[in-house]
C-alpha cells in the first residue's frame, strides 16, 4: 500500500522507486537528526558550556579536513555505478582504500597543525581519537551510505546514515552511566568508540546487499586520486566554511562562546539534514539523465529544487519555534543560544538553494566550476570572521555564514546559466 501510494506522487514526473527512496532517505536523515539532537543534548549538558566549547571547537577543527578524507568517493561511487552496475564492489573497495590512506595522512596533519599553530586545543591523545573518528571511520561510513543510495537500496541507505550517530550516543550514555568524569578527553573517547561501532555495522550492511569489497578489481590509487581530486577539494571548501568559524571563535572569543554557538548551530543543522537525504537520493538519477541526454534532466532537477525549498521553509520555521526552549533543553548556561538559533533561521533556505545548484553542476560534469565557487565561499567566510569576530562577537559567525552562502548561490546560479547558454 505504502509503495503504491509513493509511486503515484507526481509533480510533473512519476517518482516510482526514486520517490520511495527519497522518502526512505528523508526518514533516515530525520531519524539521524533526532539521534544527533539527543547526542547534542546529552553531551552539552554533561560537559557544560565551557568543556563542551573545548570539545566542540576541537571537533570543528578536525572537521575542516574531513571532506578530503574519502577523496570524492561519495561522488565517484554513484557516477561509476550509474555507468556500470557490476563495478559496484570494485568502487566500494576503492572508496575504503582511499578513505583509510587519506584519512590517516590527514589525522597526522591535524595533530601537527594543532601543535604548531593553535594556542588552544585538547591533548594530543584526545585530538587523535577525534581525528580518527571524523577522518577515517565516519567518511568510510558515508561511503557505505553512498553505495546503498547508488544501488537504490533506500532502506539500507537510511539505516547506514544512522549507524555512527547511534554508536556515539550509546557510547556517551554508557560513559555517563558508568560515572566517568565529565571531561572533553572522556567525551572524545566515547566519540571514538561509537564511530568504530558504526563503521563495523555499515561494512556488514553493504556486504549483505552487494557482497564484500572486490579488492583485486579496484581502481589504482593513482586513477582514484586523479578522478576524485575535484570532488574532494570542492567538498572540503563547501563543508569547511560551516565549521571554520568555530575554530576561529575558540582562538578569538574562548571556549564558552564556542559552546553557546555550537549548540545553536548543531540544533539548526539537525533541521537541514533531510535536505541532504533528498539531494543524495536524486544524485544518481540526475547523473543518469545527463548521460542519456533524454531531455528529462531539467524536469527532474526542478522536482528536487521544489521539494528542497519547501522543506527548507519548514526547517526555518522549526528553528524559530525551538529557539525559546533552548535553555530548558540544554541548561540555563546556554541561554544565549536562543538568540543564535533565531539568527540562524534563514540558513536552511540558503543551504537548500546552494546544495541544489551545486548538485546540478556535479551531475552535469561542471565540477571544476563548483570547486571554484565552494573555495570562494570558504575564503569569504574566513575573511568575514577574522574581520568581524573581534567586533560583533558570536553574531559575526552567523552573519559570515549567511553572507558566504548567498555569495556562493549567486556564483553557482550564474555558472549554471552559463552552462545552459553554451
* pLDDT(91) > 70: yes
- Fill in the DSSP letter of residue 120: S
- Per-residue cell: 174: 554508557
Q: What's the whole-number mean pLDDT along residues 301-313?
A: 92
Three-state DSSP at 254 gives: coil
Q: How many Å apart are CA 49 and CA 40, to the nearest integer?
A: 12
| pTM of the complete model beyond 0.75 | no
If residue 211 lies in a helix (H) or strand (E), which one and from where to where? none
Q: What pLDDT shows up at residue 349?
A: 95
Greater confidence (416 vs 246) lies with 246
pLDDT for position 130:
93
| 170 within 8 A of 198, measured Cβ to Cβ | no
Residue 324 has pLDDT above 50, yes or no: yes
Using one digit for the tens of pLDDT, what is the confidence trace for 29-45?
Answer: 778 878 988 898 899 88
Output phi, psi for 10, to 5 deg: -145, 120
Which pLDDT score is estimated for 249?
A: 85
Q: Which three cell numbers stand for residue 181?
A: 568524569
pLDDT for the residue numbered 240: 65
Give the pLDDT score at 9: 39
How many Å apart are CA 207 and CA 108, to the nearest integer?
30
Q: What is the pLDDT of residues 184-220, one digit of tens each?
A: 899 999 999 999 999 999 999 999 998 899 888 888 8
Q: Residue 367's Cα: distance from chain center in Å?
A: 18
Q: How confident is the model at residue 49 (pLDDT cuts 50, 70, 90)?
A: confident
pLDDT band at 16 (very low <50, low <70, confident <90, very high): low
Residue 1 has pLDDT above 60, yes or no: no
Q: Which of 238, 220, 294, 250 is nearest to 53 (CA)?
A: 250
Average pLDDT over all residues of the chain: 83
What would the grid cell of residue 170 be?
550509546
Q: How confident is the model at residue 112 (pLDDT cuts 50, 70, 90)?
A: confident
Q: What does the pLDDT read at residue 270?
A: 82
Q: What is the pLDDT of residue 189?
A: 94
Of the two residues 235 and 354, the one the predictor is more confident about is 354
Q: Is the pLDDT of residue 405 over 70?
A: yes
Tell me the average pLDDT across 95-108. 91
Q: Which residue has the cell 548561490?
A: 409
Domain residue extents for the chain? 2-421
Residues whose CB falls within 8 Å of the CB of residue 82, separated by 6 or more in sequence, listed in order = 150, 284, 287, 288, 291
Identify the pLDDT of residue 208.
93
pLDDT of residue 330: 83
Q: What is the mean pLDDT of residues 358-374?
A: 82
Give 198 or 280, the one with higher predicted confidence.
198
Q: What local confidence, expressed as pLDDT, does residue 342 receive?
A: 94
Q: Is the pLDDT of residue 14 over 60?
A: no
Residues 284 and 77 sit within 8 Å (Cβ to Cβ): no
Q: What is the predicted pLDDT for the residue at 144? A: 92
pLDDT at 15 over 60: no
Cα–Cα distance measured from residue 239 to residue 218, given in angstroms and rounded to the nearest whole number: 28
- The pLDDT, as a whole number, for residue 294 is 62
**For the ranges 121-135, 163-177, 181-195, 265-279, which has the lowest average pLDDT?**
265-279
**What is the model's pLDDT at position 371?**
77
The predicted model gives 302-325 an average pLDDT of 92
Burial class (CB in 10 A: 0-12, 13-18, 19+), 220: exposed
Task: Please say whether the beta carbons of 206 and 348 come within 8 A.
Answer: no
pLDDT of residue 273: 78
pLDDT of residue 11: 40
- Confidence at residue 6, expressed as pLDDT on a 0 to 100 scale: 44
Task: State mean pLDDT over 312-341.
Answer: 89
pLDDT one-digit tens code per residue, 59-76: 878 887 877 787 777 777
Give yes or no for residue 334 having a pLDDT over 70: yes
Greatest Cα pair distance, the chain, in angstroms, is 64
Amino acid at each position: 500500500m505504502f509503495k503504491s501510494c509513493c509511486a503515484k506522487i507526481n509533480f510533473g514526473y512519476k517518482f516510482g522507486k526514486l520517490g520511495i527512496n527519497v522518502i526512505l532517505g528523508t526518514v533516515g536523515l530525520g531519524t539521524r537528526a533526532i539521534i544527533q539532537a539527543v547526542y547534542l543534548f546529552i553531551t552539552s549538558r554533561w560537559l557544560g558550556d565551557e568543556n563542551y566549547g573545548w570539545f566542540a571547537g576541537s571537533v570543528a577543527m578536525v572537521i575542516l579536513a574531513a571532506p578530503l578524507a574519502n577523496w570524492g568517493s561519495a561522488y565517484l561511487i554513484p557516477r561509476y555505478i550509474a555507468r556500470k552496475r557490476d563495478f559496484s564492489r570494485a568502487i566500494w573497495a576503492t572508496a575504503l582504500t582511499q578513505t583509510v590512506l587519506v584519512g590517516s595522512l590527514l589525522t597526522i596533519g591535524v595533530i601537527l597543525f594543532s601543535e604548531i599553530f593553535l594556542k588552544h586545543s585538547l591533548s594530543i591523545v584526545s585530538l587523535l581519537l577525534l581525528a580518527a573518528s571524523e577522518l577515517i571511520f565516519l567518511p568510510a561510513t558515508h561511503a557505505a551510505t553512498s553505495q546503498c543510495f547508488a544501488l537504490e537500496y533506500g532502506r539500507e541507505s537510511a539505516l547506514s546514515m544512522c549507524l555512527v550517530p547511534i554508536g556515539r550516543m550509546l557510547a556517551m550514555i554508557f560513559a555517563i552511566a558508568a560515572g566517568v568524569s565529565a571531561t572533553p578527553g572522556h567525551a572524545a573517547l566515547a566519540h571514538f568508540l561509537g564511530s568504530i561501532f558504526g563503521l563495523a555495522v555499515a561494512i556488514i550492511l553493504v556486504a549483505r546487499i552487494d557482497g564484500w569489497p572486490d579488492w583485486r578489481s579496484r581502481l589504482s590509487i593513482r586513477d582514484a586520486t586523479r578522478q576524485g581530486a575535484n570532488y574532494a577539494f570542492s567538498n572540503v571548501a563547501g563543508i569547511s566554511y560551516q565549521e571554520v568559524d568555530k575554530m576561529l571563535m575558540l582562538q578569538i572569543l574562548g571556549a564558552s562562546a564556542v559552546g553557546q554557538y555550537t549548540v545553536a548551530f548543531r540544533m539548526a543543522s539537525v533541521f537541514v539534514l533531510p535536505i541532504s537525504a533528498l539531494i543524495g537520493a536524486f544524485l544518481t538519477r540526475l547523473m543518469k539523465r545527463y548521460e542519456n541526454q533524454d531531455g528529462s534532466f531539467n524536469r527532474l532537477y526542478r522536482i528536487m529544487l521544489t521539494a528542497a525549498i519547501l522543506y527548507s521553509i519548514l526547517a526555518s520555521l522549526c528553528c524559530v519555534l525551538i529557539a525559546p526552549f533552548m535553555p530548558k533543553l540544554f541548561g540555563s548556561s546556554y541561554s544565549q543560544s536562543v538568540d543564535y538559533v533565531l539568527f540562524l533561521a534563514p540558513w536552511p533556505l540558503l543551504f537548500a538553494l546552494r546544495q541544489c545548484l551545486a548538485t546540478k553542476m556535479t551531475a552535469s560534469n561542471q565540477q571544476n566550476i563548483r570547486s571554484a565557487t565552494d573555495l570562494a565561499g570558504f575564503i569569504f567566510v574566513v575573511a568575514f570572521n577574522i574581520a568581524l569576530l573581534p567586533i560583533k562577537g558570536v553574531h559575526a559567525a552567523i552573519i559570515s555564514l549567511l553572507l558566504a552562502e548567498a555569495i556562493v548561490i549567486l556564483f553557482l546560479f550564474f555558472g549554471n546559466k552559463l552552462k545552459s547558454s553554451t
